[in-house]
Structure 1
Amino acid sequence: MAVLRAAPPGAGAAVMATGIVSVGLHLTGHPTLSGAALALAGAMWVVLAVAFAVRFGLDRAGWQATAANPPALTAVAATCVLGTRLSLFGRQTGAAVLLVLAAAVWPWLLMSVLRHLRRPAPGAAFLVCVATQGLAVLAATLALAEHDDWLAWAALAACALGVLLYGEALVRFDLREIGRGAGDQWIAAGALAISALAASKLTASPVWTGGAHDALRAGTLVLLVLDLAGYAVLAVSEFVRPRLHYDLRRWSTVFPLGMTAVASLSTSQAAAIGWPHGLGTVLLWVAVAGWLLTAAGATRATLAARRQPGT
C-alpha cells in the first residue's frame, strides 16, 4: 500500500512511452512486438490507476497538491494513448471506456494545473496540450472505427483547444531547459507531434471534404514540420550537452520520440505523401532504442534503491 501511495505522478509518462511505441510497431507491421508493448503498457496503467485511486482515498490533501503540477496530466495522456492502441487492436468498447475515464478527469486536472502554472516553466508545462490532444486522438480514432460523426466534431474541438494550450505553455517555457533539462524538455516537441497526429486523424475522417479537408491536411503538415524542427533542435542539444544519467523524466523523452514517429506514419497515410512514412519508420527504431535504454536505467535505479539500507 505504501508503494502505491508513493508512486510519482510523472510515472504515467512510462505508460505513454510504451503505449506509443506499441502503436508505432503496429503501424509498421510488427504485431508480436506491438502486442508485448501493449500488454506491458496495460499492466503499468493498471498499477498507476490503483495508485491514483489509493492516494485519492487515503491522502486527499496530498492528491490535490500533486494534481496542481503538470505531471499529473500524464494520467489523462497515458489513458488516451492506451485507449488509442486498444482501438487499433479492435477493442472499441475498452477504448471508449478509457475515453470516458480520461474525459472525466481531464477538466479538473487541467484547470488545477493552469491555475498553478508559473513562468518560467519546465517542459512538463506542455502536458496541458498533450493531455488535451490525447483526447482528440482517441476520439478521432474511435470516430473512424465506429463512424460516429459527433466524436469527430468533439475531436476537432479538442484538437483546436490543444493547439491554443500549446501557445499558453510556450510563452511560459524556460528556453534554458533545452540545454539543461533532464528529459521533460522533449515534451515541447512531443506536444507538436501529438497535435499533428490528432490533425492527421481528422484529415482521414470522411466528415470533412473539399476546403475543410484541405485545411486540415495543410494544418497537419505544418504541425509535423514544426515538430520535426523541434525534434532536431532538442537532438542537437543532447549531443552538445550530453545528459546520460537516468532520470524518471527520461520517459518524457521517449514519448516524443515515439509520438513523432507515429505522427509521421499517420500523416503519410492521411495526407497521401510518401516521405513521412520512411522517416517515421526510422524514427520509430530510434524510439525503441530510447525505450530500451530508459527501461535499463529504470531497472538499475530500482535495484540500487532496494540495496540501500532501510529499503
Structure 2
Amino acid sequence: MPGTSAPHSLRAWWAQRPPAAGAAVMATGIVSVGLHLAGYEVLSRLTLVVACAAWLGLAADFALRLAREPRRWLREAATPAGLTAVAATTVLGTRFSALGWQTLAAALLALSALLWPYLLYAVVRHWHRGMSGAVFLSCVATQGLAVLGATLAAAEASAWLAHAALVLFWLGLVVYAAALVRFDPRQVTEGAGDHWVAGGALSISALAGSELISADSAALYLWNNDADDVLHTVTGGLLVLDLAWYAVLMAAEFVRPRLRYDVRRWATVFPLGMTAAATLSVAAALDASWLEVPGEVLLWIAVAVWLAVAAGAVREARDYAAADGSPDGGLTSTARR
C-alpha cells in the first residue's frame, strides 16, 4: 500500500546508514555547545534535542546490529568512522555537564571510556598510507574523552579526573601525529567531506587544552606554574594550527567545489562547529576576549553549513522513500563506507 511503503523505505534507508552517520550527532552536538558558549541558550537547547534524538536512533541501531549482525558490526567497528560512537557520546556528555546534569554526563563518560579502547585498537591496527580524513577520528575520540573528563573534573572538583584527562590530551596529540603520516594530502581537494577532520582534530585538542586550563582552581591546584605555562602555550598553538587548517580547507572548497550531498559532509560540519567552540573556549581560558567576535562569526558559518547539510539529508531520505528504496528506483547514494 502507498501509505505504508514510505515508512518502510525510510526504515530501510536508516538501516543502511554507515558508521559515518555518527558524525551527524557530533556535528549537531558541537553546534549546541558553540551556541551555549556564545550565549544563545534557547537555540542551543533546541539543537541539543535534535542531537539527542539522533544519538538515540544510532545507539539503538548500534545495539541491534551487534545483536543481529555481529560480523557486520565487527567489520564496521574496525573502520575509522566507527569511532564516531565515542566522539558523539563525549560531545553530548560535555553539553549535559554544562547544563548541570553531572550524573548523566558521567554515565556518558563511562560508556565512552568502555568503547574507546576496543574501537581505537580495532581501527589503528587497520591503518595504512593514503587514508581519508577519517583517520583523524582516532584523535577526535581520544580528545573527546579529555574534553568531557576535564569538564566533569571542573564541575565535580575531581583532581584525579583532571589528571586522567591530561594524559588523554597528550595521547591525543601523539595519535594526531601518527594519523597525519597516514593522511592522503590529495583529500584536501578530492575528499567528500571527512577531509575536514584533519583540522577538526586540532580544534577539539585546543578545546581539551582550554578545559584543562579552566579546570584548575585554588582548591584543586592541578598544575604548577611550569605545567600551566606549557598548557597555555600548547593550547594557543593548537588553535593557531587549527585556524590555518581551516583557511586551507575552506580555500580548497572554493577552488574545487563539492556541492553534492554526501553523508560524510557531516564530518565537515563538525570541524566547523568545533573550531568555533574551541575559539570561544580558548578566549575565556586564555583571557583573550578579542577572540570572541571571530569565534561567533565561525559559529554562524557552522550553523549555516549545518542547515545546508541537514537539508541534503532530508532530500536524500525523501528521494529514497519516493524510489521505494529499490535499486532501479533511480536513486544513487553517494554515501561510502
Which bracket does the TM-score occupy, shorter chain normalised? over 0.9
> Does the 8 Å CA contact 1:7/1:51 hold for their aligned counterparts?
no
Please point out which of 37, 43, 59 is paired with 1:33: 43
Task: State the partner residue of 2:210.
Answer: 200
Task: State the partner residue of 2:243.
Answer: 228
Task: State the partner residue of 1:210.
Answer: 225
| Deviation (angstroms), 1:310 | 4.8
Instruction: Tell me which moved more, 254-263 or 267-276.
Output: 267-276
Is 2:185 the partner of 1:175?
yes
TM-score using structure 2 length? 0.90
Please point out which of 315, 325, 333 is paired with 1:300: 315
**What are the Cα deviations for residues 219-264 of structure 1, in whole angstroms up to 9, with x where unaligned?**
1000000000000000000000001110000000000000000000
Task: State the partner residue of 2:131.
Answer: 121
- Equivalent pairs: percent with the same residue? 57
**What are the Cα deviations for residues 106-137 of structure 1, in whole angstroms up to 9, with x where unaligned?**
00000000001111100000000000000000
SS state at 2:167 partner: helix
- How far apart are the structure 2 equivalents of 1:18 and 1:240? 27
- How far apart are the structure 1 equivalents of 2:224 and 2:311? 47
Task: State the partner residue of 1:245.
Answer: 260
> Does the 8 Å CA contact 1:182/1:250 hold for their aligned counterparts?
yes
- How far apart are the structure 2 equivalents of 1:116 and 1:100? 26
| Deviation (angstroms), 1:45 | 0.5
List gaps (5 residues or longer) in structure 2: 1-10, 217-221, 327-337
Task: State the partner residue of 1:96.
Answer: 106
- How far apart are the structure 2 equivalents of 1:310 and 1:81? 32
| Deviation (angstroms), 1:52 | 0.5
- How far apart are the structure 1 equivalents of 2:167 and 2:62? 28
1:280 partner amino acid = G
List gaps (5 residues or longer) in structure 1: none
1:141 partner amino acid = T
Task: State the partner residue of 1:50.
Answer: 60
Name the CA shift for 1:3/1:303 in 2 (closer, same or farther; >3 Å).
Answer: closer
- How far apart are the structure 1 equivalents of 2:109 and 2:33? 17
Please point out which of 257, 272, 287 is paired with 1:257: 272
1:238 partner amino acid = E
**What are the Cα deviations for residues 179-224 of structure 1, in whole angstroms up to 9, with x where unaligned?**
0111000000000000000011111122114121111011100000
**What are the Cα deviations for residues 11-43 of structure 1, in whole angstroms up to 9, with x where unaligned?**
110000000000011111111100000111011
User: Higher RCO, 1 or 2 (CA under 8 Å, sep at least 6)?
Assistant: 2
SS state at 1:171 partner: helix
> Does the 8 Å CA contact 1:5/1:54 hold for their aligned counterparts?
no
Structure 1 residue ranges (4+ consecutive) displaced by more than 2 angstroms after TM superposition: 1-7
Please point out which of 66, 71, 89 is paired with 2:81: 71
Please point out which of 30, 41, 50 is paired with 1:20: 30
SS state at 1:272 partner: coil
SS state at 2:185 partner: coil
| Deviation (angstroms), 1:5 | 4.6
2:314 partner amino acid = T
**What are the Cα deviations for residues 145-185 of structure 1, in whole angstroms up to 9, with x where unaligned?**
11000110010011101000001110000000000111000
SS state at 1:244 partner: coil
Name the CA shift for 1:299/1:2 in 2 (closer, same or farther; >3 Å).
Answer: closer
Is 2:142 the partner of 1:132?
yes
2:156 partner amino acid = E
